[in-house]
Homo-oligomer: A and B are copies of this chain.
Amino acid sequence: MYIILVYDIGERRVGKMLKLCRQYLNWIQNSVFEGSLTPSKLRELKFEAKKIMDEEHDSIIIFTSNNEDWLKKEVMGREKNELDTFL
């Protein structure tokens, strides 16, 4: 499955969440990740994310599509991946 994950996570938890998401997906913008995951890997990611997040204050939105070709992606401006290697 093709995944887009966006998060809004409190400062004290965001580092952990970033690290987790990067284990499963590609970081494409400040708080945006994409990639392909099997349903069981996605369940695993959600399970781990729940342990980190504060569900009263934080938010994660996950878009899933069965076929990557059904979504077109266009980037305007700077491409995050250029910086990614420095982090």
Chain A contacts to B: CB under 8 angstroms: 4, 6-8, 28-32, 46, 49-50, 53-67, 70-80
Contact = CB atoms under 8 A, between A and B. Distances in A.
Contacts of A77: 53-60
A57 B78 CA distance: 6
A62 B74 contact: yes
A53 B77 CA distance: 8
A61 B73 contact: yes
Identical copies of this chain, number = 2
B65 A72 contact: yes
A62 B50 contact: no
Given A55-B78, A59-B79, A78-B58, A70 B73 contact: no
A56 B60 CA distance: 28
Contacts of A57: 77-78
